[in-house]
Amino acid sequence: MLTTKKENAGRAHAVIGGGCFWCVEAVYRRVDGITDVESGYAGGTVDHPSYEQVCTGKTGHAEVVRVEYDPSKIGYSKVLDLFFLAHDPTTLNRQGADTGTQYRSIILYATEDEKRIAGESVRKAQANLTEPIVTEIVPLEKFWPAEDYHRDYFERNPTAGYCRLVIKPKIDKLDLGPRRNG
C-alpha cells in the first residue's frame, strides 16, 4: 500500500486516473523522467479491492496509476500536462467505450502543493477545451496495487484488440514512441 509521496530518494509520485489504467500506464512508460508506473485502485472505500469488485462500480475506486518520476528530469506539472493530453477530461465517468465511475478522470494529491499544482493544471488545460473539465482533485488516502496480470498489459499483449484499437492509436497520436522505462 502506498500512502506517501516519496518512497525512493530523489523520486516523487503522482497518482492519476484517466480511464483504463492499461492506457495510462502505456502512455507514461514512454516518457523521459518517468522511472516506474504501477496500475492500481484509489479513491474508494474498500480495502484491498479486486479488479472484479472495482468493475462493479460499488467500491468507489477509480482505475489509477502511480507514476514514479525523477523531479530533476520532469516536474509534477509536466506529468499533469501529459495527463490532460492523454485522455478526455471532459467526459464524466467514461473514456471512449469504457464507462463507469472506475474510469473517471481523477488526480489524487499527497500534499497541499500538489493540490495547488493540480488546480493550476486544470485551469491551464481548460483554456484549450470547449467543454468543462470534470476531473476530480482529491486527497490520496490509499493506493492499492492492481493484480499482477494488469502490469505492462500493453507490452505483453500488443496484438490484443483493445491494445491495437485503443492504446496504440493513443500512443501514436501523442508521438511517444517505444517504451523508455523499467
The tally of CA atoms less than 13 A away on the side-chain side of residue 108 is 27
**Residue 111 contacts residue 83 (beta carbons within 8 Å):** no
DSSP designation for 2: B
Neighbouring CB atoms inside 10 A of 49's CB total 23
If phi > 0 it is left, if psi is from -120 to 50 it is alpha, else beta; for residue 136 that is beta
- Three-class secondary structure of residue 54 per DSSP: helix
Catalytic residue from among 20, 23, 55, 163: 20
Catalytic residue check, 23: no
**Residue 95 contacts residue 87 (beta carbons within 8 Å):** yes
The tally of CA atoms less than 13 A away on the side-chain side of residue 171 is 25
Catalytic residues: 20
